[in-house]
Structure 1
Amino acid sequence: MPDPSSLVIADLREEGQELDRLVGDLAPEEWTSPTPAKGWTVAHQIAHLEWTDQAALLALTDADGFARRIEEALAAPDDFVDQGAERGAALPPAELLARWRRARTGLDAALAAADGTARFPWFGPPMKAASMASARLMETWAHGQDVADALGVTRKPTSRLYHVARIGVRARDYAYAVRGLAAPAAEFRVELVSPDGTETWTYGPADAPQKVTGPALDFCLLVTQRAHRADLAVTAEGAEADHWLDIAQAFAGPAGDGRAPRV
């Protein structure tokens, strides 16, 4: 059986390649297209991914360099993410694209070479290489969705969403904590239909009274806050599960504003 770490690294590679195909042939003016993220263009989205991929590469290969990155973040806790995106978005599109490609290539190699049992520093708790790859995939997919929305492109969902969904489930308690709320003590049951309709991805006890069901794509859009709950076919059984769907987030950082309903 293949090493799970190698599988998620390969999936991250494929996720980056898919987004690369989406932006690789854009005209310079298309890089300035506004995305659903307020104030962010297509260039901002790719610049953010390049910045964060570089940070992950530092975490894996250069502890001192990553410590300096942490110091930069602490010096501007409210806008260091936006600052990184602004700097990258100001570059000529060809240079930004080349930088992102180099960052992805370097990160891919570092993840493959990393000790699978070691934990590496991050902006939150330290992570193993496989968890870092999953987190990078989640972000690449989510920001890729912003780019696709900006360009009017509908992407075909893939089995790689398994990693995004898993993070969304595992981050349940974080969504409460970041809002200063106490998380429910008991696990929820989550049942998601895979993108090809051939599987059901399940999490939590089968007999849990609090339950969430729906298409995996819709759940991933919900937990990455790329669509409003009202526009998605994700349903809850139980008051606690229902509340979670209103606040769920798979990403680290402050509680996001999410998206407005389409209607």
Structure 2
Amino acid sequence: MDMTTICADLKDELEALDAIVSPLDEAAWNTLTPAEGWAVRDQIIHIGGTDRTAIVAAAEPERFKAEFLNADRSSRIKRIEAETASLDGAGVLAWWRSGYQSLLDLFLELDAKTRIPWFGPPMSAVSFATARLMETWAHGQDVVDALDVDRPGTERLRHVAHIGVLARPFSYQVNNQTMPDAAIRVELVSPAGALWNWGDEDAPNRVYGDALDFCLAVTQRRHLADTDLRIEGAAAEAWMTIAQTFAGPAGSGRQPGQFPKKR
């Protein structure tokens, strides 16, 4: 994967979410989302604040380590809150757009293998950009759920699914569990009908199904019971109940039946 390709997909993901929120009136910007205590504006501010932090990490890694990496989470949150507290919905939109355009411009200047520090292990620039796409999509899901907007899956979900598979060790770590020594095969059907797969073809532990369902599950935007994923083997079952793509402590996910699958 090169930076031009991942940046094009990240740009498309950002602009797709932009198209959803740009027509909103002030009341809609304050609609509560499934994330407790977070309105639509809070979701966009979170994405925008993380984009701005990512710019510092990529452009000024030593400053990032000094000012962000060693700072507690509450101080980072207060910094963004102070920057956005006086903004109405239109102001939040303009602030977010300015940040993500700067992020895209910066990413396009980077070599794909450039190592960038972050709150977990350092990542290559291409992985860093992929993580930004994943988070944009995941928080965008909270927005579309709040607004009851239909958002069909796209082939960009491959990036989200890929992180979901690679983050398996982290899912155990963040839940203070030991990952079993068992290979897992993941086979997903993309929105366009392509077959995506990861892992040993002969692995007895397997996850099959729709790519959108898998991405919703590993980003904890849907309970497994509200997907059509087929899971075989104890190791696969254990993983999918705790699967987590995002950094930070273990997430609480969604409750079964909170978002039943539309049939």
AA paired with 2:109? A
Q: Give 2:125's aligned residue.
A: 129
How far apart, in 1, do the equivalents of 2:66 and 2:49 lie? 14
Please report how far the alpha carbon of residue 89 of structure 1 lies from its aligned counterpart in structure 2 after TM superposition: 5.8
Q: Give 1:8's aligned residue.
A: 6
Deviations 1:151-205 (A, max 9, x none): 11010110000000000000001100111111122321000010122x1100000
How far apart, in 1, do the equivalents of 2:71 and 2:137 lie? 29
Q: Which runs of 5+ in 2 are unaligned?
A: 259-263
The percentage of aligned residue pairs carrying the same residue is: 48
Query: In the alignment, which of 175, 184, 187 is matched to residue 183 of structure 2?
Result: 187
TM-score (norm. length: structure 2) = 0.93
Using the TM superposition, name which of 83-92 and 50-59 deviates more. 83-92
Please report how far the alpha carbon of residue 29 of structure 1 lies from its aligned counterpart in structure 2 after TM superposition: 1.4
Secondary structure in structure 1 of the residue aligned to 2:17? helix
Q: Give 1:45's aligned residue.
A: 43
**What number of residue pairs does the alignment pair up?**
257
Query: In the alignment, which of 211, 220, 225 is matched to residue 220 of structure 2?
Result: 225
Q: Contact conserved, 2:182 with 2:235, CA < 8 A, in 1? A: no
Using the TM superposition, name which of 50-59 and 180-189 deviates more. 180-189
Deviations 1:29-50 (A, max 9, x none): 1110000000000000000000
Secondary structure in structure 2 of the residue aligned to 1:134? helix
Q: Give 2:102's aligned residue.
A: 106
AA paired with 1:248? A
Deviations 1:39-67 (A, max 9, x none): 00000000000000001111111224322
How far apart, in 2, do the equivalents of 1:107 and 1:193 lie? 31
> Taking structure 1 as reference, are residues 23 and 144 closer, same or farther at Cα in structure 2, changes over 3 Å only?
same
Q: Give 1:255's aligned residue.
A: 250
CA RMSD for the aligned pairs? Answer: 1.6
How far apart, in 2, do the equivalents of 1:261 and 1:63 lie? 41
1:1-263 equivalences under 5 Å are 4-70=2-68, 74-77=70-73, 79-80=74-75, 83=78, 86-87=81-82, 88=84, 91-197=87-193, 199-262=194-257
Q: Which runs of 5+ in 1 are unaligned?
A: none
Deviations 1:94-118 (A, max 9, x none): 2211111111111101111012222
